[in-house]
């Protein structure tokens, strides 16, 4: 029997995955201010009321009232059970679900230590670029490439000096540290025992994840040598299949230009930025995956791939086309730009400047044209069997397109090219009608109508769970005594979790309560919209706690006073009453009752 999944693993997992990505790959989301929206997959609707919040890592439908975390979403949408949902999230994040008896606590600590190590290693490489006696070569190299000091600093470029143990000596003082360096992919195990630095004599490019945290490095060789580019291996922090170099920095320009360029190397990204083209990203030594594209399409509807014009470039382009097809919902566009032989974006933009490069971009080949041009090269359209072959080649590709206008139009084009009977091809290949299975599968029932007016306890819980990072766990709750308010023990237990794990996010916090009767009410409190500015949330929380304390005192005073009219209070009760009445929270007017 599989053991219980440790809560700390779930905390860590929910801190690692992004609910926006999880949902977007199944239900395409559109950005709407700070949140993302779509037509709800759980009820029929024409205008989107299904909202996904990246900060809470939570979704909520204002139409039918469904809401929850990434785990809930997978359970409800993909009909998975809890464990299956966890497995799905974990495999997407490239981590293993620990079995019973593992040491989750340590694993969690090690992720935090690994993040810290990445920050320190990045500082180390940066410092070497400024101070190492041999850094002249790198600086000259960067200057030759036309990079200014500002751009070098902006992209936090660094230098891994020559030698086998620079980083190792600096950070690998003991076994635990060396283990961490190894886990982070910064050192390599020797066959004869011991370790050596992975990155030696290279220009270093820190790789940031979409939240701007350093998760790995790329190193480019300075002179001739192999490999030209070297990346961190897959680590608990770094997943090549989903990370894109430069995305964190390019986001703003991508929004502004409404277009994102995908280039092949990090030097291209930096060089383009130097020349004023700041909306580019690079994959990290892997082909472009569907995950990469889904991630980019969340920010923008138009992507342009830049490839070298050589054979390898053309092959890479075709693979990119194949990954792109399933992502092409209506409104999304992909273009291909092939560079002249022997050029890459770096050399080209340096040679011809920003304006000429932009002109090339605007003349990129749309994906549908590229697809049919390539297939026509492989077939002889003058022959009937040649046209049949075109249909055979195009069929599996077009079927990868999602239902929509683009797909129909692509089939129309195939019909024209192959001189087939109008309308016959798409019908012929798509025997089953488009699935409507997403509709109205489940409903939790709508949020309570009085959500705007919560009890102070509920409000305190809602603020604390929605803003776990505000420091609310440091507010003293000890004046709150046990009462028949069912929310108080819950407030205390949330605070306890936060005290042990101050970095936990809303979704992970919520998941602590999945198996308890508190889960449903808590989910509603996470969905509650409080309209308090984020700078004021902590103050509001404190005030709510004060209100609660005040109310408890008032209540207790009423009880004691009531009792004193019927019988004599014990000495202890009398003392308690006196103390309560002295506290300034007690509304003054009521003292007159004495
Ligand atoms: Zn709904």
Same domain, 81 and 115: no
Please say which residue of 199, 231, 263 terminates a domain: 231
Same domain, 159 and 287: no
Same domain, 295 and 217: no
- For residue 61, report the distance from its CA to the centre of ligand 1, in Å: 5
Domain CATH code at residue 541:
1.10.860.10
- For residue 289, report the distance from its CA to the centre of ligand 1, in Å: 30
Please say which residue of 372, 394, 414 terminates a domain: 372
- What is the pLDDT at residue 326? 86
- For residue 194, report the distance from its CA to the centre of ligand 1, in Å: 57
In a domain, 2, yes or no: no
Same domain, 402 and 486: no
d(CA 86, CA 514): 13
- For residue 511, report the distance from its CA to the centre of ligand 1, in Å: 21
In a domain, 471, yes or no: yes
In a domain, 547, yes or no: yes
- What is the pLDDT at residue 439? 25
Residue 391 in tokens: 């249909």
d(CA 121, CA 215): 11
- What is the pLDDT at residue 109? 61
In a domain, 241, yes or no: no
- For residue 328, report the distance from its CA to the centre of ligand 1, in Å: 24
- What is the pLDDT at residue 434? 36
- In which domain, by residue range, is 514 found? 456-593
- For residue 520, report the distance from its CA to the centre of ligand 1, in Å: 17
- For residue 570, report the distance from its CA to the centre of ligand 1, in Å: 57
Same domain, 585 and 466: yes
Same domain, 253 and 214: no
In a domain, 438, yes or no: no
- For residue 43, report the distance from its CA to the centre of ligand 1, in Å: 5
- What is the pLDDT at residue 107? 53
Q: Assess whether the previous peptide bond of 227 is cis (omega < 30° from 0).
A: yes
What's the pTM?
0.59
In a domain, 444, yes or no: no
**3 state SS of 472:** helix
Same domain, 501 and 544: yes
Same domain, 273 and 346: yes
In a domain, 436, yes or no: no
Chunked mean pLDDT (size 10), the chain, 594 residues: 76 89 89 89 89 92 90 87 87 77 55 89 96 93 92 96 94 91 93 92 92 90 83 86 88 91 93 96 85 84 91 88 89 94 89 94 95 92 90 88 87 89 67 33 26 77 92 84 79 91 91 86 87 87 89 84 83 84 54 38
Half-sphere exposure of 58 (CA within 13 A, CB side): 25
- For residue 439, report the distance from its CA to the centre of ligand 1, in Å: 9
Residue 380 in tokens: 């002889």
- For residue 41, report the distance from its CA to the centre of ligand 1, in Å: 7
- For residue 265, report the distance from its CA to the centre of ligand 1, in Å: 42
B/e letters for 488-519, b = 16+ CB within 10 Å, e = fewer, are bebbeebbebbeebeebbbbbbbbbbbeeebb
- For residue 51, report the distance from its CA to the centre of ligand 1, in Å: 9
Same domain, 298 and 338: yes
Same domain, 394 and 360: no
Give CA angle at 307 (304, 313), nearest 5°.
140
- For residue 39, report the distance from its CA to the centre of ligand 1, in Å: 8
- For residue 329, report the distance from its CA to the centre of ligand 1, in Å: 21
Domain CATH code at residue 342:
3.40.1360.10
- For residue 79, report the distance from its CA to the centre of ligand 1, in Å: 16
- For residue 445, report the distance from its CA to the centre of ligand 1, in Å: 10
- For residue 463, report the distance from its CA to the centre of ligand 1, in Å: 24
Sheet holding 260-263, edge to edge: 280-282, 260-263, 302-308, 333-339, 365-366
Q: Which is it for strands 67-68 and 260-263: parallel, antiparallel or unpaired?
A: unpaired
Same domain, 382 and 368: no
The DSSP code for 374 is H
Same domain, 279 and 321: yes
- What is the pLDDT at residue 432? 39
- For residue 64, report the distance from its CA to the centre of ligand 1, in Å: 4
- For residue 63, report the distance from its CA to the centre of ligand 1, in Å: 5
Computed on alpha carbons and rounded to an integer, the radius of gyration of the chain in Å comes to: 30
Contact by Cβ (8 Å): 58, 68: yes
- What is the pLDDT at residue 488? 87
**Total domains, the chain:** 5
Domain CATH code at residue 221:
3.90.980.10
Please say which residue of 65, 93, 121 terminates a domain: 93
Contacts of 360 (CB under 8 A, 6+ apart): 337, 339, 348
- For residue 233, report the distance from its CA to the centre of ligand 1, in Å: 41
- What is the pLDDT at residue 450? 39
In a domain, 236, yes or no: no
- For residue 73, report the distance from its CA to the centre of ligand 1, in Å: 12
Give CA angle at 56 (51, 59), nearest 5°.
30
- What is the pLDDT at residue 338? 94
- What is the pLDDT at residue 102? 52
- For residue 66, report the distance from its CA to the centre of ligand 1, in Å: 6
């Amino acid at each position: 029997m599989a053991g219980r999944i440790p809560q700390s693993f779930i905390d860590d997992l929910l801190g690692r995955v992004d609910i926006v990505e999880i949902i977007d790959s199944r239900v395409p989301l559109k950005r709407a201010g700070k949140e993302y929206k779509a037509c709800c997959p759980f009820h029929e609707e024409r205008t989107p009321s299904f909202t996904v919040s990246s900060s809470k890592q939570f979704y909520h439908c204002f139409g039918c009232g469904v809401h929850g975390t990434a785990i809930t979403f997978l359970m409800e949408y993909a009909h998975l059970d809890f464990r299956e949902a966890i497995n799905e999230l974990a495999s997407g994040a490239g981590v293993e679900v620990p079995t019973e008896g593992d040491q989750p606590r340590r694993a969690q600590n090690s992720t935090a230590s690994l993040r810290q190590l990445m920050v320190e290693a990045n500082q180390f490489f940066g410092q070497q670029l400024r101070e190492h006696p041999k850094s002249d070569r790198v600086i000259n190299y960067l200057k030759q490439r036309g990079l200014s000091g500002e751009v070098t600093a902006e992209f936090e470029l660094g230098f891994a000096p020559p030698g086998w143990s620079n980083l190792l000596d600096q950070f690998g003082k003991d076994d635990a540290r060396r283990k961490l360096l190894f886990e982070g992919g910064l050192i390599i195990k020797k066959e004869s025992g011991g370790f050596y630095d992975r990155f030696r004599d290279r220009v270093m490019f820190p790789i940031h994840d979409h939240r701007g945290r350093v998760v790995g490095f790329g190193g480019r060789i300075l002179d001739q040598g192999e490999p030209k580019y070297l990346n961190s291996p897959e680590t608990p922090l770094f997943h090549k299949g989903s990370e894109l170099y430069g995305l964190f920095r390019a986001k703003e320009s991508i929004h502004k230009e409404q277009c994102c360029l995908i280039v092949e190397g990090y030097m291209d990204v930096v060089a383009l930025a130097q020349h004023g083209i700041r909306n580019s990203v690079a994959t990290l030594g892997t082909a472009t995956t569907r995950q990469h594209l889904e991630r980019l399409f969340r920010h923008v509807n138009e992507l342009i791939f830049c490839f070298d014009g050589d054979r390898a470039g053309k092959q890479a382009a075709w693979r990119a086309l194949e990954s792109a097809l399933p992502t092409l919902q209506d409104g999304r566009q992909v273009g291909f730009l092939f560079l002249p032989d022997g050029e890459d974006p770096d050399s080209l933009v340096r040679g011809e400047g920003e304006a000429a490069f932009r002109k090339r971009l605007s003349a990129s080949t749309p994906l549908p044209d590229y697809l049919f041009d390539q297939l026509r090269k492989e077939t002889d359209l003058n022959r009937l069997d040649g046209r049949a072959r075109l249909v055979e080649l195009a069929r599996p590709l077009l079927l990868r397109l999602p239902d929509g206008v683009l797909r129909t139009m692509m089939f129309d084009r195939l019909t024209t090219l192959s001189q087939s009977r109008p309308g016959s091809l798409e019908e012929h290949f798509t025997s089953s009608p488009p699935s409507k299975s997403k509709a109205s599968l489940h409903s939790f029932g709508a949020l309570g109508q009085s959500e705007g007016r919560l009890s102070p306890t509920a409000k305190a819980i809602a603020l604390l769970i929605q803003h776990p990072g505000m420091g609310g766990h440091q507010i003293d709750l000890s004046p709150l005594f046990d009462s028949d308010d069912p929310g108080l023990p819950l407030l205390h237990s949330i605070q306890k979790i936060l005290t042990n794990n101050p970095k936990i996010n809303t979704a992970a916090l919520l998941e602590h309560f999945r198996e308890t009767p508190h889960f449903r009410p808590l989910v509603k409190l996470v969905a509650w919209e409080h309209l308090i500015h984020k700078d004021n949330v902590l103050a509001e929380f404190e005030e709510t706690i004060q209100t609660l304390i005040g109310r408890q005192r008032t209540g207790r005073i009423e009880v004691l006073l009531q009792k004193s009219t019927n019988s004599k209070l014990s000495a202890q009760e009398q003392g308690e009453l006196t103390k309560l009445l002295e506290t300034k929270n007690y509304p003054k007017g009521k003292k007159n009752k004495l």
